[in-house]
Amino acid sequence: MKITTRLTGLMLSGLAVGLMLSTQPAHASLTPSSTLPRTDMVDLASYQGNLGQSDFDNLAQQGVKAVTVKATEGTSYVNPYLSQQVQYAQNAGLSVNFYHFAHFTSASEATAEAQAFINAVKSVTSSTNIVMVVDFESSELAGLSKTANNANLATFDSVLNQAGYNKTDLYTMSSWVGNHIDTNDANKGWIANWPANPTGENYTSANAWQWASDYVFNGEHQNLDVSQLNNSYYLGGATTSTTPTNQTTSTTPTTTPQSGQEDPTMVKLPAPKQVGSQYSKSRLYSVKLVWRGNMGHHTYTTTKGARYSAHLGTRYGYNSDLPDVTWVTDKHEKLYRKATHDYIIYYHVKSTDGQHGGWIWRGYLK
């Protein structure tokens, strides 16, 4: 998030011209360093709409664990990249949360903005096990008393709670806490404070500390807001439960397939195409399905690894045998590996001619 202002008659809607925190000296963009705080979480809005799946994958590989995506502002603005950013984050295995840029100055406005926020989030996920954040920084809010702001925020949160969203939080700048708004047990805080030379830990009683708005990850080419998490609050709504409501999840049995049983979503290929395929009981039982769902169409190539059935029990063929094939995605899944106690993401792909397909570990896809 950027500390923003509001122009007369024009809501900036996250494409904000920034009001840098007055206490923060300007400096060159920050880049990875062992002396800096952790980059556990990145927040996104429409001005990061240019980031693609490879960028999200890159963030995950560099230690990002969660994203908080701008959903709404006021009562009429919805982030046009909301669905895309949620999907990319899910594909990368990141926890997904949401924020609303607040303008409410009364209980009725707080109620209306909360409902707009709920409606937008429901359009991309049926999960309520996510953090719903109010971004409290708009200039008109500074004109109200702290008592009024606290009351309006309580109204906003109550509407979220009634809709089943019980994980809420307050994003604001450090100079506003105790002056214009209070943190509390329900909103322990996501505090923005950007020192010139950030190190160590800060605001440890809050859920998160946003310590920079100009961090450039290796392999990326634009500044991003980064935060260090003080606990697991923003990780509870991981991709295990965040599934867009406009997607369908396959009805995979909750029980592990019996030996020799085919998974119902297994790609069926003509017999000549399955030369070298191999069934492995040990491979089948080595993983457990966490979630599976549809995904957008993205094209990749690879000569590494192999193509498998959904539970990896059957290998269809090695990718090195098809070096010139372009693979198109349509599904993805997250598997728990029992031996190593970690998770791995596979993409379901089909060749452009429809003759080949299967599940490939996303790390092999370029």
DSSP for 187-221, please give it: ---EEE---SS--S---TTSSEEEEEEEE--TT--
**Separation CA 219–CA 89 (nearest Å):** 17
Sign of the Cα pseudo-torsion (292, 296, 297, 303, in order): negative
Which letter, b or e, does each residue of 246-266 get, where b requires 16 or more Cβ atoms within 10 Å of its Cβ? Answer: ebeebebeeeebeeeeebebb
**Residue 210 forms beta bridges with which residues?**
192, 227
Instruction: Judge contact between 333 and 348, C-beta under 8 A.
Output: yes
Residue 102 is predicted with a pLDDT of: 97
Q: Residue 250: what residue type?
A: S
Output DSSP code: residue 142. Answer: G
Could you read off the pLDDT tens digit of each residue along the chain, which spans 366 residues? 754 433 333 333 333 322 233 334 344 577 778 789 999 999 999 989 999 999 999 999 999 999 999 999 999 999 999 999 999 999 999 999 999 999 999 999 999 999 999 999 999 999 999 999 999 999 999 999 999 999 999 999 999 999 999 999 999 999 999 999 999 999 999 999 999 889 999 999 999 999 999 999 999 988 999 999 999 999 976 443 334 443 333 333 333 333 333 333 334 443 334 444 588 888 888 988 877 888 778 889 999 999 999 889 888 889 999 999 999 998 888 888 888 777 788 999 999 888 899 999 988 888
Please, which residues have CB within 8 angstroms of residue 61's CB and are 6 or more apart in sequence? Answer: none
Nearest to 99 by CA among 67, 138, 71: 71
Map tokens 């809501």 to a residue: 11
Map tokens 């109010």 to a residue: 134
What are the helix (H) ranges across 218-312? 281-284
Residue 272 is predicted with a pLDDT of: 38
Helix axis angle, 146-162 to 107-122, nearest 10°: 40
Residue 173 is predicted with a pLDDT of: 95
**Separation CA 171–CA 209 (nearest Å):** 10
